[in-house]
C-alpha cells in the first residue's frame, strides 16, 4: 500500500507518519510512506488543507490530524480481486512454499462464510489441509466443523487408481479368463495408472461430481507436478487419436477410450474464462516470481488464459536500523520491481505477511482481514533454546564417508536446491568428487550455481530427455526382427505419456548406483512428486524380487535396497521453522520409514531467529519459530542443523560455500549471520 503524507510543517508530518507506521505494525499491513512537504507539490496533488493523506493515489483525508480509528480503517486489507465475482472454479498454483494452501483454504472459507456452498479440493499428495482445518482428509467430500457450507476433499492417488482398475476390468468381455483379468490388473499397477486415475478424479470435479457446490477451489501440488497434471488431457487425447490397439501400461485400449470424453470436458471447463480462474501464487522473491512467469506462459499454451497473480507474504520493514528486516524488505521490493512483463499485465493482489501461522479457522479467516491477529499461544515463547550446529557441521559428518548417496528432500519452497548445492560444494572443499543432480521438473540448479567447480559434475534428470533416451534404448533392443508395421506399433506404445514416468525412474536408478564409487547429491522434487518416484522404486523392487525368487537374494540389489542402507544413502529432510513445513516433513519421514528408509538428519532453513532481528512483526513470528524448533528437536529429528536467514541471498558459488564453511574459514565478516541459534 503506497501512502503520501502531505504537510508543510515537518514535525506535524512526522507525527502523522508515526501514527500510520504504528497502525501498520499493529495490523500487519505492508505500507510504503512518502512525505510531501513542498506547498506547490501538495497543491498539485489536489490537497486544499493539510495534513492530507493519499493512499494508492486517492485523497482519503485532509485538514486535521487523523485518529487511530481512521488510520485502522484505511489500512484494512482490501478483499482480493479473485473474491470479487469469482468464477465457479478457482485454481491455485505456484512454486512450493508460496502459500497456495493457505490462500486457497482462506478463499474457500471466505466464500462459505458469504453463504456459498464450497468444495475445497487438494490435488497434492503431500497436502496438509488436515492440519490447517483440524479434520481428517478423505477421498470424498467431508464437511468442515465450524464452517457451514464448506466441504473438503483430498484426491487419494491409491484410491483413485483402484477405482480406475475396477472400471477398466468391468469393460472387459464377459468371456475373459481369470488369467486375462489378472494380467490386466498387473498392467494397471504402475505409477502411470495412478497418475491418469488421479487426473480422472480431478476431471470429474470439473463437471458432474461437484454439481452440489457453487464453487470448487483447487489447492494444487507444486508447479512442475501441476503442469504435468494439466497437460495430461492433451497428451492422452493425442495418444488415443493415433492408437487403435492396446495400451499395455494402462490395460485395454477401451479403458482409455472411455476417458476421452472426460478429458475433453475437463479441458473445456479449464479453458472457459467464465468458469475457471487460474490464480498464480508467488512470494516477493525472484525465483518464485520467475517460476510464476514461466507457469503463466505454459498455461497460456494450454489455453488457460483467465489468470490472476497473488503476491503472498509481502513484508515492510518498520525499523530502518534493523539490518535483517531492511534486507528482507529490499530484496522483496527489488523482486517486485523486476517482475517480468507477462506478470505485470495480469490483475494482481498482494497479501501482507502476518504475525501468525495460518493454522485453524480463526487464523485463516484473519488472513484477509488486516486488523485481526490471532495470538500465538506459548508458555515459553521467549525462552532460549539449545544452540544448534550449522550446515558446515553436517558437511563435516557427510565427508567422513568415502562415497554415498545424499538425497535432499522436503516440501516445495523450503530451499532444497540451495542446500543440496551447498552440501555438494562443502564435500568438494573437503576433498571429495561429487555428482550433483535433481529430479525436480522445475529444477533451479543452473540458477543456483554460477560457475564450474573442479570435481563437481552438475546435471538434471530432464523428463523429456530421459524419455527420448528410453524410447531409443527400447527400440534398439526390441525392434530387431520386427517389420516396419510392428516397429511403428512399438514406437506408438512408447509414445504414451506414462513412458515418461518409467524413463525418469530408470535415470534415477542409474544415479543411485553411481554412489557406489563417488558422492552423489540429489536434489529431489517437492514431497508429493518424490513420493510417486519412491512408489515406482518400491514397485520395481517387488517386481525384481519376484523375477529373481529362488535364485538367491545375493544376486540382486534394487534401488530401494540402496535407499534402505543407511551406510549407502543419507536422507536429509529440509524444512522451515513453521507449523506446516515441519508437519509435512514429519509426514514424509513417516512415509519413508514405512518403506524401510530412515532419514539421517533434519535441516531447519531460513531461520529468522538465528539471523537476529528486532522488527516487531518478525519478532512475533519468532515465537512460533521457537515452538517449531523445540518440536523438531524434541523427538522428530535424531540430528538437527540450522541455517539462518541471510542478508545476502545464498546464490552463486561464493555465497553457497559460506553456508558450509567453518566460521574461521569465512572470507568475510559475519555481518549478523550467526551459525547457531541461541
H-helix segments, 481-526: 484-494, 499-514
Q: Which strands, in side-by-side order, build the sheet including 32-36?
A: 32-36, 2-6, 52-55, 58-62
Alpha carbon 647 to its chain centroid, in Å, reads 23
Q: Is 8 a catalytic residue?
A: no
Q: How far is CA 399 from CA 303, 430, 452, 515, in A?
A: 49, 7, 21, 14
Give yes or no for a contact between 104 and 131, defined as CB atoms under 8 angstroms apart: no
Q: Is 146 a catalytic residue?
A: no
Q: How far is CA 490 from CA 251, 464, 483, in A?
A: 15, 19, 11
Q: Is 97 a catalytic residue?
A: yes
Give yes or no for a contact between 569 and 514, defined as CB atoms under 8 angstroms apart: no
Q: Is 124 a catalytic residue?
A: yes
Catalytic residue among 28, 94, 96, 97: 97
CA angle 192, 193, 198 (to 5 degrees): 100
- Tell whether the torsion through CA atoms of 14, 15, 18 and 23 is positive or negative: negative
What is the 8-class DSSP label of residue 524?
A: P
What is the 8-class DSSP label of residue 50?
A: S
Q: Which single residue is written with the C-alpha cell 485481526?
A: 372
Angle in degrees, 0-180, between the axes of helices 178-187 and 157-170, rounded to the nearest 10: 150
Listing DSSP states for 348-379 in one string gives EEEEE--SS---SHHHHHHTT-TT--PPP--T
Q: Pairing mode, if any, of strands 150-154 and 142-143?
A: antiparallel
Catalytic residue among 4, 124, 127, 151: 124
* Distance (Å, whole) CA 133 – CA 152: 9
What is the 8-class DSSP label of residue 634?
A: I
Cell (9 digits) for 639: 540430528
**477-487 core/surface letters (b: 16 or more CB in 10 A; e: else):** eeeeeeeeeee
* Distance (Å, whole) CA 9 – CA 17: 12
Taking the CA of residue 19 as centre, how many other CA atoms within 13 Å lie in the half-sphere pointing to its CB?
A: 19
Catalytic residue among 100, 286, 570, 606: 100
Give the DSSP H or E segment for 215: strand 215-219
Burial of 191 (0-12, 13-18, 19+ CB in 10 A): buried
Cell (9 digits) for 120: 475445497
Q: Is 606 a catalytic residue?
A: no
Catalytic residue among 99, 190, 415, 426: 99
* Distance (Å, whole) CA 536 – CA 614: 47
Residue 32 main-chain phi, psi, to 5 deg: -125, 105
DSSP-based helix, strand, coil % in the chain, nearest 5: 50, 15, 35
Catalytic residue among 102, 318, 358, 417: 102
Alpha carbon 118 to its chain centroid, in Å, reads 24
Q: Is 665 a catalytic residue?
A: no
Catalytic residue among 101, 499, 524, 661: 101
Catalytic residue among 530, 580, 613, 661: 580
The partner residues of 387 in beta bridges, in order of sequence, read none
Cell (9 digits) for 222: 507444486
Give yes or no for a contact between 558 and 540, defined as CB atoms under 8 angstroms apart: yes
Q: Is 478 a catalytic residue?
A: no
What residues act catalytically? 97, 99-102, 124, 580
Amino acid at each position: 500500500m503506497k501512502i503520501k503524507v502531505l504537510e508543510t510543517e515537518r514535525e506535524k508530518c512526522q507525527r502523522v507518519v508515526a501514527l500510520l507506521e504504528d497502525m501498520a505494525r499493529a495490523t500487519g499491513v505492508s505500507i510504503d510512506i512518502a512525505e510531501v512537504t513542498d506547498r506547490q507539490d501538495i497543491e498539485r496533488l489536489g490537497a486544499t488543507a493539510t495534513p492530507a493523506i493519499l493512499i494508492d493515489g486517492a485523497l482519503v483525508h485532509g485538514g486535521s490530524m487523523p485518529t487511530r480509528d481512521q488510520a485502522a480503517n484505511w489500512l484494512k486489507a482490501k478483499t482480493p480481486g479473485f473474491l470479487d465475482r469469482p468464477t465457479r472454479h478457482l485454481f491455485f498454483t505456484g512454486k512450493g512454499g508460496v502459500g497456495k494452501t493457505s490462500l486457497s483454504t482462506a478463499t474457500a472459507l471466505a466464500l462459505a462464510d458469504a453463504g456459498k456452498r464450497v468444495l475445497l479440493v487438494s490435488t497434492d499428495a503431500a497436502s496438509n489441509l488436515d492440519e490447517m482445518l483440524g479434520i481428517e482428509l478423505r477421498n470424498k467430500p467431508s464437511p468442515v466443523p465450524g464452517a457451514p457450507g464448506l466441504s473438503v476433499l483430498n484426491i487419494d492417488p491409491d484410491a483413485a487408481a483402484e477405482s480406475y482398475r475396477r472400471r477398466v476390468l468391468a469393460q472387459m468381455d464377459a468371456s475373459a479368463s481369470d488369467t486375462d483379468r489378472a494380467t490386466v490388473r498387473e498392467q494397471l499397477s504402475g505409477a502411470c495408472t495412478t497418475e491418469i486415475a488421479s487426473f480422472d478424479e480431478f476431471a470429474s470435479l470439473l463437471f458432474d461430481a461437484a454439481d452440489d457446490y457453487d464453487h470448487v477451489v483447487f489447492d494444487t501440488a507444486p508447479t512442475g507436478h501441476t503442469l504435468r497434471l494439466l497437460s495430461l488431457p492433451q497428451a492422452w487425447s493425442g495418444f488415443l487419436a493415433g492408437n487403435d490397439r492396446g495400451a499395455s501400461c494402462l490395460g485395454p485400449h477401451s479403458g482409455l477410450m472411455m476417458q476421452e470424453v472426460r478429458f475433453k470436458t475437463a479441458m473445456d471447463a479449464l479453458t472457459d474464462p467464465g468458469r475457471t480462474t487460474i490464480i498464480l501464487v508467488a512470494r516477493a522473491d525472484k525465483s518464485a516470481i520467475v517460476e510464476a512467469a514461466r507457469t503463466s506462459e505454459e498455461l497460456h499454451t494450454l489455453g488457460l488464459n483467465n489468470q490472476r497473480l497473488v503476491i503472498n507474504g509481502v513484508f515492510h520493514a518498520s525499523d530502518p536500523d534493523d539490518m535483517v528486516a531492511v534486507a528482507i524488505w529490499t530484496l522483496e521490493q527489488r523482486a517486485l520491481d523486476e517482475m517480468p512483463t507477462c506478470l505485470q499485465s495480469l490483475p494482481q493482489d498482494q497479501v501482507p505477511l502476518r504475525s501468525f501461522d495460518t493454522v485453524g479457522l480463526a487464523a485463516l479467516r484473519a488472513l484477509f482481514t488486516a486488523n485481526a491477529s490471532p495470538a500465538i499461544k506459548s508458555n515459553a515463547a521467549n525462552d532460549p533454546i539449545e544452540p544448534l550446529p550449522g550446515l558446515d557441521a553436517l558437511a563435516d559428518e557427510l565427508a567422513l564417508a568415502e562415497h554415498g548417496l545424499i538425497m535432499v528432500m522436503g516440501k516445495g519452497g523450503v530451499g532444497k536446491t540451495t542446500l543440496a548445492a551447498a552440501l555438494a560444494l562443502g564435500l568438494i572443499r573437503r576433498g571429495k568428487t561429487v555428482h550433483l543432480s535433481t529430479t525436480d521438473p522445475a529444477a533451479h540448479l543452473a540458477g543456483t550455481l554460477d560457475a564450474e567447480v573442479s570435481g563437481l559434475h552438475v546435471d538434471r534428470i530432464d523428463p523429456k530427455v530421459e524419455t527420448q533416451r528410453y524410447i531409443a534404448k527400447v527400440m534398439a533392443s526390441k525392434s530387431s526382427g520386427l517389420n516396419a508395421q510392428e516397429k511403428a506399433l512399438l514406437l506408438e506404445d512408447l509414445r504414451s505419456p506414462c513412458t515418461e514416468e518409467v524413463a525418469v525412474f530408470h535415470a534415477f536408478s542409474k544415479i543411485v548406483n553411481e554412489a557406489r564409487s563417488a558422492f552423489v547429491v540429489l536434489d529431489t522434487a517437492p514431497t508429493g512428486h518424490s513420493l510417486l518416484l519412491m512408489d515406482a522404486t518400491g514397485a520395481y523392487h517387488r517386481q525384481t524380487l519376484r523375477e529373481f525368487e529362488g535364485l538367491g537374494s545375493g544376486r540382486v540389489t534394487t534401488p530401494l535396497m540402496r535407499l534402505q542402507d543407511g551406510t549407502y544413502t543419507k536422507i536429509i529432510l529440509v524444512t522451515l521453522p513453521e507449523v506446516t513445513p515441519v508437519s509435512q516433513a514429519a509426514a514424509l519421514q513417516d512415509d519413508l520409514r514405512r518403506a524401510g528408509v530412515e532419514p539421517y538428519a533434519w535441516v531447519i532453513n531460513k531461520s529468522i531467529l538465528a539471523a537476529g532481528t528486532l522488527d516487531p512483526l518478525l519478532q512475533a513470528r519468532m515465537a512460533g519459530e521457537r515452538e517449531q524448533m523445540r518440536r523438531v528437536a524434541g523427538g522428530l529429528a535424531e540430528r538437527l542443523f540450522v541455517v539462518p536467514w541471510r542478508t545476502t541471498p545464498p546464490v552463486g558459488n561464493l555465497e553457497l560455500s559460506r553456508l558450509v564453511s567453518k566460521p574461521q574459514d569465512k572470507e568475510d565478516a559475519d555481518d549478523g549471520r550467526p551459525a547457531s541459534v541461541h
